[in-house]
Structure 1
Amino acid sequence: MTPEEAARVAALGPFFAFEVHPKGSVAPEPWRVLSDLFEPGSGAFAERVAAVRAFLAAGGGRAPEEIEERVAASVTHLGLVSRLLSPVLGCAAALGRIPSLDPERVRWQAELGGTFPLSLPEDAFGSGEDVPLSAVVDGALRPLEAVALPMSVSPHILRGNAASALNGAARAAAHSSSPHADRVRAVASELLDDPYLADAFSDEDGTFRRRSCCLIYRAAPDGAGGLCGDCVLAGGGGA
């Protein structure tokens, strides 16, 4: 993995961008390793949920405790999944290979916002057999689901978040000038076919709709917030 290859992927949009760091190097502050998020004992996921909770509360002129923790946890999970999946799709589309999301070597910075800094090791592609696309499920999606479940967010919602993130990445790429934008949609569709996401969405008549709600509407005063475009509630369903 070279900075030049990373630049080709970044042409798809900011969510696809990442830095490249030397293999075997120690993460300098403020970089953190991804495994911190997956390990409940580290407190990293809980810290991020608290920060997102405060951010959502401030946006509606409310106190953090007025925002349900599970709402902040779901929104946090959606943001993390979107940020992690986009570079994977981008590498597959622009470079033809899937990077390993080894949690001990992938780095992130705990800035608020969907495009928080992310860095992959220069040997993320490895030197042996190619990493299968399905490895993303066990390498990132299941660990993030596991750490969010104790905050009363159902697997149905969390898998809907993952499906929504994949569809959102494809939509974002379509607005770029990259020649690989169409390929992102194809790769996203391949991952959406994974059994892990089988009941997370519908795609009738080419219209993507998740079968759950990310719950962000509940962060608005009196639950009067708007719904996301792919939300099940927008189609009259339930969360």
Structure 2
Amino acid sequence: MTSLDDLGPFFAVRTHARGQRRDAPWLTMADLLTDAHILEARVERVRAALGAGTDAPVEQRVAASVTHLGMVARIIAPMIAVAALDEPPISVAAEDLWWQDELGGPYPLSVTAAATDVRPNLAGGIVGELTDAVGNGFGVSGRTLWGNVASATNSAARLIATTRPEVAVRALAAADGVLAEPRVEDGRLRAGPRFRRRSCCLIYRVTGDRGAVCGDCVLI
């Protein structure tokens, strides 16, 4: 999907045929969901990175929320993009998504086309399953995690609108389809420059400074 490459690293993906296996270090998202050690190890690596240079240890639930935000943002971005660009929809099934467990930027992601031409429910599939896994495994509230989904969705749409203004309306409409889901901040938010999530990803707790928050945070 070369058209996605032009939108930036969070949108760029590789592709594979359904059922095709990829060699290590590729993993499926299903691997992440079925082997708790993979997710726990990633959270701990994020926790160590967040705590570098700080005096107090970073709470595990804070690292888990930040991990979740980064992972769902990487999944949601190309899915919003293919809707905005009117390309075939991407499967949201965990077994169809391959990734590499890398930190330090958008992790490599390989996708396959959805089984039908119907746009998938992005709040379901791997996004919902990953959100449940982080909430159940690390004690992070659903409001925080679904707020992460909302933030990632709006950010993807706004990046597309900035890079490709001619598809801005389609990008915002695709994002609104996600934001309308009741689990995503009660379905009340809509994408655009005035977006403000109704929760916080907890990043401010790394320093304890309530001013150290994201631009769309409820604490602003």
Please say whether Structure 1 and Structure 2 have the same fold, judged by a TM-score greater than 0.5: yes
Q: Distance in 2 between matches of 1:212 and 1:201?
A: 13
Give the TM-score normalised by the residue count of structure 1: 0.83
The aligned counterpart of 2:54 is 62
Q: Distance in 2 between matches of 1:44 and 1:189?
A: 32
1:47 and 2:47 correspond: no
Alignment of 1:4-83 (within 5 A): 6-39=1-34, 41-58=35-52, 61-62=53-54, 66-83=57-74
Structure 1 residues without counterparts, runs of 5 or longer:
1-5, 235-239
1:12 Cα deviation from its structure 2 partner: 2.3
Alignment of 1:56-205 (within 5 A): 56-58=50-52, 61-62=53-54, 66-121=57-112, 124-126=113-115, 129-134=116-121, 136-149=122-135, 150-177=137-164, 179-199=166-186, 202=189
Alignment of 1:194-233 (within 5 A): 194-199=181-186, 202=189, 207-220=194-207, 222-223=208-209, 226-233=212-219
CA separation of 1:84 and 1:62: change in aligned 2, threshold 3 A: same
CA contact 1:11–1:177 (8 Å) conserved in 2: no
Larger Rg: 1
CA separation of 1:175 and 1:130: change in aligned 2, threshold 3 A: same
Q: % of aligned pairs identical?
A: 41
Q: Distance in 2 between matches of 1:232 and 1:218?
A: 14
- Read off the aligned partner of 2:88 and give its amino acid letter: R
1:53 Cα deviation from its structure 2 partner: 0.5
Structure 1 range deviating more: 41-50 or 95-104: 95-104
Deviations 1:119-164 (A, max 9, x none): 013xx233xx323332x22202221121111311000100100000
CA contact 1:21–1:120 (8 Å) conserved in 2: yes
CA separation of 1:18 and 1:45: change in aligned 2, threshold 3 A: same
The alignment yields a C-alpha RMSD, in angstroms, of: 2.3
- Read off the aligned partner of 1:56 and give its amino acid letter: L
- Read off the aligned partner of 2:31 and give its amino acid letter: D
Give the TM-score normalised by the residue count of structure 2: 0.89
- Read off the aligned partner of 2:4 and give its amino acid letter: V
CA contact 1:201–1:211 (8 Å) conserved in 2: no
Aligned positions, number: 219
Structure 2 residues without counterparts, runs of 5 or longer:
none
CA contact 2:154–2:191 (8 Å) conserved in 1: no
- Read off the aligned partner of 1:37 and give its amino acid letter: L
CA separation of 1:167 and 1:178: change in aligned 2, threshold 3 A: same
